[in-house]
Amino acid sequence: MNPRDRIRLLGAGLIGLGGTRMAQAQTQGPVAAQQISSEPWKVAMQISDSLEQAYEGLINIQNVLELDPKMRFIVVGYGKAIHFLLNGAKTPQGALFSGMIGDLANQGVQFKACNNTLTFLKIPQSELVLEATVVPAGVYELVKLQSEGWYYIKP
């Protein structure tokens, strides 16, 4: 058998394997989510870029908690996005962030606001939503959480 025939035969075999897998996948239907671990995973989320990022991050948390309600989250807000933690802040769709934050806090999600950012932007702590606690520095808090075994994500 010449090399070209070998390549054609190999290609035909690989295509056949792919088609079989595709046919199996199509007949199996949707895969149900399974609990990730017997111990809850701990996730620290950085929100520092924008209100859009904050909204996306909170939606991500809602989705994950539907799959694994035991998962624990700490959201650390600082920089340009700190405003999502303020009373009256609205999502890009016009809803109040405080409603989303309250719902997530009721599921165990913690919210931390960076004191450095609040000071720099001259925002009094009294403007924060009730669920937010103040930490000295957002970046420091994220590093500390990672050193304590928390996974880090940024939407």
Residues 102-127 have pLDDT tens digits of 999 999 999 999 999 999 999 999 99
Query: What is residue 22's predicted lDDT score, i.e. its pLDDT?
Result: 47
Sequence spans of domains, the chain: 1-29, 42-153
14 pLDDT higher than 70: no
pLDDT digits (tens, 9 = 90+) for 76-105: 999 999 999 999 999 999 999 999 999 999
pLDDT at 38: 76
Question: What Rg, from alpha-carbon coordinates, does the chain have?
Answer: 23
Q: Report the CATH fold assignment for 42-153.
A: Hypothetical Protein Ychn; Chain: A, (3.40.1260)
3-state secondary structure 6-36: HHHHHHHHHHHHHHHHHHHHHHHCCCCCCCC
What percent of the chain is predicted at pLDDT more than 70?
A: 76
Res 91: pLDDT: 95
Q: For the residues 51-56, what does the mean pLDDT come to?
A: 97
* Better pLDDT: 28 or 45: 45
Q: Which residues pair with 152 in a beta bridge?
A: 44
Please say if the pLDDT value at position 39 is more than 50.
yes
Given this model, what pLDDT does residue 20 score?
Answer: 46
